Amino acid sequence: METKKDRLVRGTALEGRVRAFAVRTTELVDELRRRHDTYPVATAALGRTVTAAAMMGAMLKGEEELAIAVKGNGPVGRINAEANASGEVRGYVQNPHVHLPSNSLGKLDVAGAVGTEGFIDVIKDLGLKEPYRGSIPIVSGELGEDFTYYFAVSEQTPAAVGLGVLVEPDNSVRVAGGFIIQLLPGLTDSEITEIEHALGTLPSVTALLDQGLEPEDMLRQLLPDAVMMDELEIAFSCSCSREKVEQTLVSLGQQEMERLIEEDEQTEVVCHYCNETYIFNRDELQVILNQAKS
Ligand code: ZN
């Protein structure tokens, strides 16, 4: 299959009473799979989470960014995702090597991997003194329904969220993507019924993407009068750097740094988000410690 760049479209429908986002995240999710060596069900759980994060990031402006933590009681453990308004997304899952039998529909058992109890936290850094924090209990563990619940409860905007990841037999990602339809005030009952009907009969996100549909095609299947406002390229990006890791080491304190210098030939720090390893030998640690003291 030819690779297409990940992209997100933003649109409106019904004279602005519906706001809609759709995204293809195939490359992003496959990059995360390679970096974190996720098994299929973990790939799907992480992929759905970062896909939601990518779209919620596109709702932000300027330098704003958001973080999502899915804290279910399933075997994958905690899932973390971060995204910003520029389409930069990163994420990781606590236990990437989870294997579960397919669910009763013959699909990857995402709810089994995530768990059906726990919480989803959303933290938005909007450049204010205090970040915005929203937290909802997990209602299904399939994540699409959970984010739908998040919008209804935490953002007080009813929304429909569809998320999907399709994994190839060789464990690579065939397609990934999703949509968010936000229902704004002013919709009539019959318009809402029509949208609900369209949602109920829409094939899965992965089926649509696998047919070669672009994100805007997906939106038009749901909202025939959808008008696309703009689009955004979505890509994996990690903000870690050697300088930031040095700051983290300094924050451990002088005693801890002296212990590292004494006990270990070299100190390795791995970024959870991208799995890059930063290596510091004794001399380098000593220089960092001396600079911190001066
Ligand atoms: Zn990193």
Question: Which residues, in sequence order, are bridge partners of residue 84?
Answer: 65
Per-residue pLDDT tens over the stretch 52-104: 999 999 999 999 999 999 999 999 999 999 999 999 999 999 999 999 999 99
* pLDDT score of 226: 96
Share of the chain above pLDDT 70, in %: 99
What is the spatial distance between Cα 203 and Cα 163, in angstroms, rounded to a whole number? 12
* Model confidence, pTM: 0.94
Furthest C-alpha separation in the chain? 71
Share of the chain above pLDDT 90, in %: 94
* pLDDT score of 119: 98
What's the gap in Å between 245 CA and the centre of ligand 1? Answer: 10
Contact 176, 164 (CB under 8 A): yes
What's the gap in Å between 242 CA and the centre of ligand 1? Answer: 10
What's the gap in Å between 276 CA and the centre of ligand 1? Answer: 6
Mean pLDDT, the chain, as a whole number? 95
Ramachandran assignment for 231, one of left (phi > 0), alpha (psi -120 to 50 degrees), beta (any other): beta
What's the gap in Å between 17 CA and the centre of ligand 1? Answer: 39
What's the gap in Å between 193 CA and the centre of ligand 1? Answer: 44
Judged against a pLDDT cut of 60, whether residue 2 lies above it is answered with no
What's the gap in Å between 244 CA and the centre of ligand 1? Answer: 10
**pLDDT band at residue 269 using 50, 70 and 90 as cut-offs:** very high
Contact 71, 119 (CB under 8 A): yes
**pLDDT band at residue 294 using 50, 70 and 90 as cut-offs:** confident
Residues sharing a CB contact under 8 Å with residue 72, sequence separation 6 or more, in sequence order: 79, 114, 115, 116, 117, 118, 138, 141
Contact 165, 156 (CB under 8 A): no
CA 178, distance to chain mean position in Å, is 11
* pLDDT score of 127: 87
Per-residue pLDDT tens over the stretch 206-233: 999 999 999 999 999 999 999 999 999 9
- CATH superfamily, domain 242-293, is HSP33 redox switch-like (3.90.1280.10)
- CATH superfamily, domain 7-236, is Hsp33 domain (3.55.30.10)
Residues of the chain with CATH 3.90.1280.10: 242-293
The number of helices, as runs of H, and strands, as runs of E, in the chain is 10, 13
Quote the tokens at residue 136: 């909802």
* pLDDT score of 273: 94
Helical residues (DSSP H) of the chain, grouped into ranges: 26-36, 40-57, 110-114, 144-154, 189-201, 205-210, 215-222, 242-251, 254-263, 282-293
Residues of the chain with CATH 3.55.30.10: 7-236
